[in-house]
Structure 1
């Protein structure tokens, strides 16, 4: 009988640090002796995180990228077909799924009935600085914590010990059994998180009819939309910072993309969460020649013109 393939889910709200965790995994000793396949889901129409992971694993790696929807609802059939193809066609040692920031993991786990798979662990990454705020934005935040075997209190360096304790206490109210691990840059040891072979009880995966309907309609319920805009040829960092402090991005929960900055011929990965942004220099081939920024947040399509004008004004 063929061996069963470990299956892990990495979840967490927008901008928490999920892709950082997977980049750490790819570079770890744990991954060196294993063939790990990744499925990366992005709500937006262009998949930044999948491109980054594909660059990290190289040509021999397996990275399936599912964008323009959520694998727990709008593109669930595509997700399940992709998973079957990976299991039956590639036969990896482990499959790790990075869900979109608004995915309900319970719905994802319910749909996994392939006989070759065994649930390994559900890992939820939370932004310790923003978690209590984000609880008000989306019902997915509580579900992501409730279903977790491990919860990473990420970005611990941005909060006081007292704030971290409050976040940990709230996590414990949602989930009395999970392991809670404070981290910086999602630096929890991969051998602790993966290979745990967790076992969720049947009642944990049961979904009432009304819950199931809500989870399949959660994007509309939470009013979360994405807008992808072309970035100017070169961006001025001071203008960009001013734009990201303006009312134009008031309803933006997360932004990411590939950009070029003034005075730099290279490509940078742009990341933004409210009141903070960062730039990481990348190899030119990582972006495939693209320059764009994705904005994800509440009712953004009605603000698209304002975002487009604001971004254009950041040109160097």
Structure 2
């Protein structure tokens, strides 16, 4: 049986960092992994961070757990038959409800020798704490569903909170999922031996013939309707180089309704390509050396923000005197 690992977690929690760490570990240990990546927008930027040797199937322009659920089953089967990998990792978009994603995987297990092995949810400790203190909001409800579906939780970015606040978050997580294993991390650094060996659910916990993952059992009492209809995206393709100073200032005053952005830009100062990640009001910019043709682009994700305002602000960046 080829094991399938699911990476869940809200936008900007650290899933892609975890994926990169997993792939490095697997390749160092002689394994042949394959990846399915889902983006709510029409561009797969996280794929630029993956080694060219790793087969990647992209699922764009939709959420893997609802509008693309049937596509997930067929994509999984095609990858299984075409590549015959040792392990398949699915990185879902940050607004996916893993419960419905699990159903899509289950359909594929009826036709191929694959099994869902582990659902890992990455939780940004400071972001979850901030949302929980507000005690309401669609984003909080979605994150709670992602927590309830998890076999393993990586409580990430713990370096940004005091011990008191970390313990408060852990208590909330344990109330939402009494059986989950919680590991505190910074930049999703974890002993991969734990992920791939000791944390797996024992097979006797559920009937393999029924192909039902324990996560389904423990969440079926919760509402299964989609909780992310409020999320919207805007994709902007740059028509020239960008002034770096103006670019960084843009994100210092971007509307609070935009809680995630990422993309590739080419700065006028050095004519080099950079990958940027924006989450929780912080931006990270890293120089990249693409081995393939790259289109400078930015993807913005948020709740009911003004797309026209974002478009105008972005266009001003390329008006360099």
> Where do 4+ consecutive residues of structure 1 move more than 4 Å?
199-204, 206-210
- CA gap of 1:29–1:84, structure 2 versus 1, over 3 A, is closer
> Taking structure 2 as the reference length, what is the TM-score of the superposition?
0.86
Deviations 1:74-125 (A, max 9, x none): 1111111000111223221111100110111111112313141222111111
The 5 A counterparts of 1:274-293 are 274-285=280-291, 288-293=293-298
CA distance, structure 2, for counterparts of residue 241 and residue 260 of structure 1 = 13
- Give 1:95-114 correspondences, 5 Å limit: 95-111=88-104, 112-113=106-107, 114=109
Matched, 1:241 2:248: yes
1:34-45 alignment runs, 5 A limit: 34-45=31-42
* Residue in 2 that maps onto 1:169: 171
The within-5 A match list for 1:102-181 is 102-111=95-104, 112-113=106-107, 114-115=109-110, 116-134=113-131, 136-138=137-139, 139-181=141-183
Question: What's the RMSD between the two structures over aligned residues?
Answer: 2.2
Looking at structure 1, the residues matched to 63 and 216 of structure 2 have their Cα atoms a distance apart, in angstroms, of 19
Indicate the SS of the match to 2:126. coil
Q: CA deviation at 1:64?
A: 0.5
Deviations 1:133-172 (A, max 9, x none): 3453422201111111211111122222222222222111
Is 1:18 matched with 2:18? no
Distance 1:274 1:235, change over 3 A: farther
TM-score after normalising by structure 1: 0.87
Q: Which moved more, 1:5-14 or 1:83-92?
A: 83-92
User: Is 1:194 aligned with 2:196?
Assistant: yes
Shift of 1:185: 1.1
1:83 aligns with 2:83: no
Instruction: Confirm whether residue 211 of structure 1 aligns to residue 217 of structure 2.
Output: no
User: Which ranges in structure 2 are unaligned for 5 or more consecutive residues?
Assistant: 207-211
Q: 1:173 to 1:237 in 2, by over 3 A?
A: farther
SS at match of 1:6: strand
Query: Is the CA contact (8 Å cut-off) linking 1:30 and 1:190 kept in structure 2?
Result: no
Q: Is the 8 A contact 2:26 2:33 kept in 1?
A: no
Is the CA contact 1:11–1:125 (under 8 Å) kept in the aligned structure 2?
A: yes
Q: Unpaired segments of 5 or more residues in structure 1?
A: none
